[in-house]
Amino acid sequence: MTAFGKNYTIVIFGASGDLAAKKTFPALFGLFREKQLSPECQIIGYARSDLGPEKFHDKISQHFKGGDDETRQKFLKLCTYVRGQYDTDEGYKKLDERCVEYEKEHQVKRPERLFYLALPPSQFTEVCEHIKKDVYVKDGLIRVVIEKPFGHDLASARQLQESLAPLFTEDEIYRIDHYLGKEMVKNLLVLRFGNELFSGVWNKSHVASIQVSFKEPFGTEGRGGYFDQIGIIRDVMQNHLLQVLTLLTMDRPVSFDPEAIRDEKVKVLKAFDKIDPEDVLIGQYDRSEDGSKPSYLDDETVAKDSKCITYCALAINIHNERWDGVPMVLRAGKALDEGKVEIRIQFKPVARGMFKDIHRNELVIRVQPDEAIYLKINSKIPGVSTETTLTDLDLTYSKRYSKDFWIPEAYESLLRDVLHGNHANFVRDDELDVSWKLFTPFLEALENNPKLEKYPYGSKGPKGLRPYLNKHGYVFTEPGIYQWPLTEPDVKTKI
């Protein structure tokens, strides 16, 4: 891994768009605020819009977090704007002149340039061809960041890769999936392999089931045109949730070397069984029970006969020595009762013997919001009772770490990785290929014959969810048995 020095150039293509304004520039500002970005670098926004310096600065600073006015002004002084088209050489040549001028001024011997494509995938190839032709330096250090989606099926993903491969080496390409930058996801390797308590039981002998769930409390809200073309599976499951599951199930890498980690991810992906389109729960949200929230089909940007999937729970089976026979479920949905992303690893029950009834241990990793790790354990109820209760060992980040403790946002974390040349949390070409091989036949089968179950906006999801999870090995705790945290005596305790 080779880190950039102090005099480097960051170019944001699509600088006038929402992604750049809401994610990319705020992430760069966050790094600058925390002194993780060189105060001597230059940042150039590139887009077709006619933006003067003041208007450009106003647009990119709307979503900055923290920092005083002086810090913001120092960061904005690093940011300039170049107007240009994406399909002609002229703008790219102006961009190159700006880079060369900066590098001469700072006596840079080996140019370091980072190109971030905050653009639709349809423009990736065109822009990358012009970067290679007009802005690339053979004797420099070049990094190109592209955003998901990396294709919509196996054929399109391969086509994208074939168009980029002649232009840049795999070392120069960073395919960004922001879920890999989330703090709790980055913590998985340490949690698993840095604790004998977990690494010793992280297998089919002790684990009963695994769930990775993604819940959004809102629907498309008039922005369904894009979503209607992809659905929830392409939007978050084939990428975000699958990435999390590979980190949960991969074998221990030989080191923290990025390629060692990515090798293990690819190895476990190749052991995934085909996804059965008959063993799936899919749905589309309907109006809320009180009628206050619209159905998916009420969205004017959506076709009235749309069969788009807004909820999916699917089973994954891994055929290797570690996981064979352990049921795993990925589930994701829009317009649900809450917004939450979490991982649940439920362990097998202890032998009853001395216990008439005993609950299962469960490790819960909350990715967002309110990052937390808690382990459900059985314990004697305090006091004179001899009964057991289900309680937890709790690491809630907001309680354990002070507010002054900087936990980077996902984009901040990943952009810092790019600057340091760390590929560990980015998707490799062969990993992308294997994941699309897994999902493409499944998606094609669903699109040919969708069996959608309607569920009310604001509900937990389709009515078949609980039976589906039971079928795949998850045992629910009876209501009232478990509290998080346990703070009051159980009124049912027998004296």
Among residues 130, 240, 423, 472, the one annotated as catalytic is 240
Please give the CATH superfamily to which domain 9-147 belongs: NAD(P)-binding Rossmann-like Domain (3.40.50.720)
Domain topology for 181-405+426-471: Dihydrodipicolinate Reductase; domain 2 (3.30.360)
User: Do the strands 311-316 and 280-286 form a parallel or antiparallel pair, or are they unpaired?
Assistant: antiparallel
Helix/strand/coil for 24: helix
Let me know if 240 is a catalytic residue: yes
pLDDT of res. 492: 46
Q: Check if the beta carbon of residue 289 is closer than 8 Å to that of residue 452.
A: no
| Cα–Cα dist 469/67, whole Å | 45
Instruction: Give the CA count within 13 Å in the CB-facing half-sphere of 313.
Output: 22
Which positions ≥6 away from 362 have C-beta within 8 Å? 344, 345, 346, 347, 375, 376
* Coil, strand or helix at 444: helix
Q: Of 152, 166, 164, 169, whose CA–CA distance to 127 is shortest?
A: 164
CA distances, 473 to each of 29, 208, 213, 244, 246 (Å): 45, 6, 15, 20, 19
pLDDT value for 480: 52
Beta bridge partners of 347: 207
Neighbour tally for 259: CB within 10 Å: 14
The conformational region for residue 51 under phi > 0 = left, psi -120 to 50 = alpha, else beta, is beta
What per-residue confidence (pLDDT) applies to 494? Answer: 38
- pLDDT for 493 equals 40
Domain ranges of the chain: 9-147, 181-405+426-471
88 CB-near residues (< 8 Å, 6+ apart): none
C-alpha triplet 340, 341, 344: angle, nearest 5°: 115
Please check whether residue 312 is in contact with residue 445, taking contact to mean a CB–CB distance below 8 angstroms. no
Spatial neighbors of 51 by CB under 8 A, at least 6 apart, are 16, 45, 59, 81, 83
- Which residues, 6 or more positions from 118, have their beta carbon under 8 angstroms from its beta carbon? 12, 13, 14, 15, 17, 19, 20, 23, 24, 147
495 residues of the chain, pLDDT tens digit each: 789 999 999 999 999 999 999 999 999 999 999 999 999 999 999 999 999 999 999 999 999 999 999 999 999 999 999 999 999 999 999 999 999 999 999 999 999 999 999 998 889 999 999 999 999 999 999 999 999 889 899 999 999 999 999 999 999 999 999 989 999 999 999 999 999 989 899 999 999 999 999 999 999 987 788 899 899 999 999 999 999 999 999 999 999 999 999 999 999 999 999 999 999 999 999 999 999 999 999 999 999 989 999 999 999 999 999 999 999 999 999 999 999 999 999 999 888 777 777 889 999 999 999 899 999 988 888 887 778 888 888 888 888 887 777 889 999 999 999 999 999 999 999 999 999 999 999 999 998 777 899 999 999 999 999 999 999 999 987 655 555 554 555 444 433
